[in-house]
């Protein structure tokens, strides 16, 4: 079915309209503080199937269930360890997803066939209001076509989802710009399956044992089961060929000058990174937070500007920078030039 996709604002009337669509088993584009999500009733098999269809998402890639209050947790997970409660207290509402044993009422289509489910409480007021008005937890993956960069504005969602879903709520630019941190629990430990705005350093304030899964920094072996199924798919990719150039600003500039073509664009931290070289570029900013905020829009803009090759400066692998690096290596198909 082709929809005339409606762009809604965040007024109570618009949220009410979006909630009615959710109650009728439809899918709505929803702003969150991380990226835009494609939301549907997490308990409704058919509604969740529409999310997978709209995105072209592989069925074994699980969705995150979004809640607006802790009282909803009991109907989503079958067990809540003390450490999960401590994390909820410290970081919810906010960009942290916890993987916990699934409640039998959550359908396997939502959990990608797994006996665990990812759950988080978003802080964006429009997301909160939509969950509350819908009266159900909302399953919501990022609102991009599978494989393309995650959307951080309503215009990005429209570009990918126009005519595929009935409505998108425009909540402005997403603050974080990268998807939530995904964590799983050991006995008294935390494993980061996907880095995000809630950093390892922040999690260490709640638990002294925080490990980073090997899939965060390296390509996963597609023939083996992976802790975080999203990690195994080609991801976040613009049409342009992305190459990460790791080294100082001087080394970056030297590399770019020697490998430049007519269709090259650079993702840089600062104007000075390109010296006197006058070529198309997009600024990511200096801090991990700025880079996270700008990254996905930059990848989409690179395509719009007709770039065939994108040379990107390499983000720090600490703090929020780790999330930026994790997304960028996937956009680059793991092509990193170490200088």
Q: Judged by CB under 5 A, does residue 93 bind Mg ion?
A: no
- 61 touches ligand AMP by CB under 6 A: yes
Does 326 bind ligand AMP (CB under 6 A)? Our answer is no
Q: If contact means CB under 5 to 8 A according to the sort of partner, which of Mg ion, ligand AMP, none does residue 99 touch? A: ligand AMP
Please give the Cα distance from 337 to 320 (Å, whole number). Answer: 22
Whether the Cβ atoms of residue 106 and residue 42 lie closer than 8 Å to each other: yes
Q: Which stretch binds Mg ion (CB under 5 A): 38-46, 141-149, 214-222, 238-246?
A: 141-149
Using CB under 5 A, pick the residue from 68, 110, 142, 152 that binds Mg ion. Answer: 142
Find residue 338's DSSP bridge partners: 246
Q: Per rule CB under 6 A, is residue 264 in the interface with ligand AMP?
A: no
**Among 69-77, 135-143, 209-217, 299-307, the segment contacting Mg ion (CB under 5 A):** 135-143
Give which of ligand AMP, Mg ion, none residue 116 binds (C-beta under 5 to 8 Å, depending on kind): ligand AMP
Question: Residues of 18-50 as b/e, b for ≥16 C-beta within 10 angstroms?
Answer: bbebbeeebbbbbbbbbbbbbbbbbbbeebbbb
**What does the DSSP assignment read for 66-118?**
E-SSGGGGGGTBS---HHHHHHHHHH-SSSEEEEEEBPTTS-TTTTTT-SEEE
Identify what 229 binds: ligand AMP, Mg ion, none; CB under 5 to 8 Å per kind: ligand AMP
Interaction of residue 80 with ligand AMP, rule CB under 6 A: no
Per CB under 6 A, the list member of 5, 17, 78, 116 interacting with ligand AMP is 116
- By beta carbon distance, the residue nearest ligand AMP is 230
Q: Where are the beta strands (DSSP E) in the chain?
A: 6-8, 28-30, 37-41, 64-66, 96-101, 116-120, 138-139, 167-169, 181-185, 190-194, 210-212, 241-246, 264-268, 281-283, 309-313, 336-338
> Out of 80, 90, 114, 145, which residue is the one contacting ligand AMP (CB under 6 A)?
114
**Contacted entry of ligand AMP, Mg ion, none for residue 114, CB cut-off 5 to 8 Å set by kind:** ligand AMP
Residue-wise over 98-118: b if at least 16 C-beta within 10 A, else e?
bbbebbeebbebbbbebebbb
Going by C-beta distance under 8 Å and a sequence separation of 6 or more, which residues neighbour residue 255? 245, 247, 311, 337, 339
Shortest Cβ distance from residue 19 to ligand AMP (Å)?
A: 21
Q: 17-36 mask for Mg ion (x: CB under 5 A)?
A: --------------------
Number of alpha carbons in the 13 Å side-chain half-sphere of residue 56:
11
Q: Which is nearer to Mg ion, 100 or 182 (CB)?
A: 182
Binding segment toward ligand AMP, per CB under 6 A, in 1-9, 62-70, 238-246, 304-312? 62-70
62 is a contact residue toward ligand AMP (CB under 6 A): yes
Residues found near ligand AMP in the complex (CB under 6 A): 61-64, 99, 111, 114, 116-118, 141-142, 179, 182, 193-194, 228-231
Which positions lie near Mg ion, rule CB under 5 A? 142
């Amino acid at each position: 079915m082709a929809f005339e996709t409606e762009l809604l604002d965040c007024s109570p009337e618009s949220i009410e309209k979006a909630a009615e669509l959710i109650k009728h088993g439809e899918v709505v584009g929803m702003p969150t503080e991380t990226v835009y999500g494609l939301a549907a009733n997490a308990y409704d098999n058919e509604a969740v199937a529409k999310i997978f269809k709209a995105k072209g998402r592989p069925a074994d890639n699980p969705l995150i269930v979004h809640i607006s209050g802790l009282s909803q947790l009991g109907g989503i997970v079958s067990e809540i360890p003390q450490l999960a409660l401590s994390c909820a207290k410290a970081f919810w509402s906010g960009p942290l997803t916890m993987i916990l044993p699934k409640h039998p009422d959550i359908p396997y289509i939502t959990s990608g066939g797994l006996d665990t489910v990812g759950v988080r409480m978003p802080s964006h007021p429009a997301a909160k209001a939509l969950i509350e008005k819908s009266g159900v937890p909302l399953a919501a993956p990022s609102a991009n076509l599978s494989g393309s960069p995650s959307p951080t504005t309503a215009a990005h969602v429209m570009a990918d989802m126009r005519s595929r879903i009935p409505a998108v709520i425009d909540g402005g630019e997403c603050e974080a710009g990268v998807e939530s941190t995904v964590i799983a629990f050991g006995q008294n430990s935390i494993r980061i399956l996907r880095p995000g705005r809630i950093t390892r350093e922040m999690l260490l304030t709640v638990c002294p044992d925080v490990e980073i899964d090997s899939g965060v920094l390296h390509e996963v072996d597609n023939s083996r089961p992976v802790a975080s199924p999203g990690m195994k798919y080609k991801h976040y990719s613009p049409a342009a060929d992305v190459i990460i150039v790791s080294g100082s600003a001087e080394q970056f500039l030297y590399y770019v000058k020697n490998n430049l073509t007519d269709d090259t664009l650079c993702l840089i931290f600062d104007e000075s990174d390109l010296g006197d070289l006058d070529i198309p570029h997009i600024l990511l900013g200096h801090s991990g937070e700025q880079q996270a905020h700008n990254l996905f829009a930059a990848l989409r803009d690179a395509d719009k500007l007709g770039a065939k090759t994108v040379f990107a400066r390499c983000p720090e692998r600490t703090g929020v920078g780790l999330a930026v690096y994790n997304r960028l290596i996937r956009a680059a198909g793991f092509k990193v030039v170490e200088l």
